[in-house]
Amino acid sequence: MEDQEILEKFRHESSKNYAFNLLIHKYQQKVYHHIRKIVIDHDDADDLTQETFVKVWQNLDKFKEESKLFTWIYRIATNECLNFLRKKRQKFFLPIADVSKDLLRKLETSSYISGDEIAIRLQKVLLTLPEKQRLVFNMKYFDDLKYEEISEILGTSVGALKASYHHAVKKIEQAMNSKI
């Protein structure tokens, strides 16, 4: 179902829940995987996915359709993730590097991690990147979003995103091709 149709149904009290169910079904996998790539751990991703949709529910009537619905949802999800990581740092007085170490540990010990060696190695390399660079790389490489869409989500210029992605690719290829 098209977003427009979902939004139309959401505006009517009688079809509000139905419309929101459709919205969740349509976007849950994209949102979950976007979040999972940032926080690594399934349980954290599950909680943040739910929280993202709760926020979408609470604010969808204020959505002005000046952007695509999915970029708006991605923006909320991204914000939830960054706040989650920020609070983690504040709570445990951790520098960014230690949060990355924590995420790395989760990559090695959490449930629901496949045995694909190259894919795991790539994730480990990604965890060595600055947080925002990893975010930009994930959205471009795995989610195949256009720079314009990422720009809408992060409120960042396309030029900055291109530069950030370019730097990330160089670093990743170098790390992946170096001997362990």
Partner 1 sequence: MKKFSLNDKKHETPFVSPENYFENLGERVQKRIQGEQEPVKISRKLPFGVPENYFELLPQRIMKRISSLKPKVWYKERTTWQWAMAACSLVLLVWVGNSWFAEKNTSKQIEISEKLQNIDKEELENYIAFNPHREVIFDEIEDADIISEKFIEEIQKHTETKIQDLPKEDLEDQLPEHLLQEMLEEEFDEAGIEDILQEKDSI
Q: Summarize as ranges the residues that interact with partner 1 (CB under 8 A).
A: 17, 20-21, 24-25, 28-29, 32-33, 36-37, 40, 42, 46, 49-50, 53-55, 57-59, 62-64, 66-67, 71-72, 75-76, 78-79, 82-83, 86-87, 90, 107, 112-116, 118-120, 122-123, 130-133, 141-142, 151-152, 154-157, 159-160, 163-164, 167, 172-173, 176-177
Given a contact cutoff of 8 angstroms between Cβ atoms, the answer to whether 43 and 34 are in contact is no
Provide the minimum distance between the beta carbon of 122 and partner 1 in the complex, in angstroms, as a whole number: 6
**Amino acid occupying residue 177:** N
Token pair listed for 76: 């909320």
Considering the complex, state which of residue 94 and residue 120 has its C-beta at the smaller distance from partner 1.
120
Token pair listed for 93: 């007085």
Provide the minimum distance between the beta carbon of 50 and partner 1 in the complex, in angstroms, as a whole number: 5
Provide the minimum distance between the beta carbon of 142 and partner 1 in the complex, in angstroms, as a whole number: 6
**Amino acid occupying residue 113:** I
CA dist 170 and 173 (Å) reads: 5
Considering the complex, state which of residue 86 and residue 101 has its C-beta at the smaller distance from partner 1.
86
Token pair listed for 122: 């790539």
For residue 69, give the nearest of 131, 27, 120, 29 by alpha carbon: 27
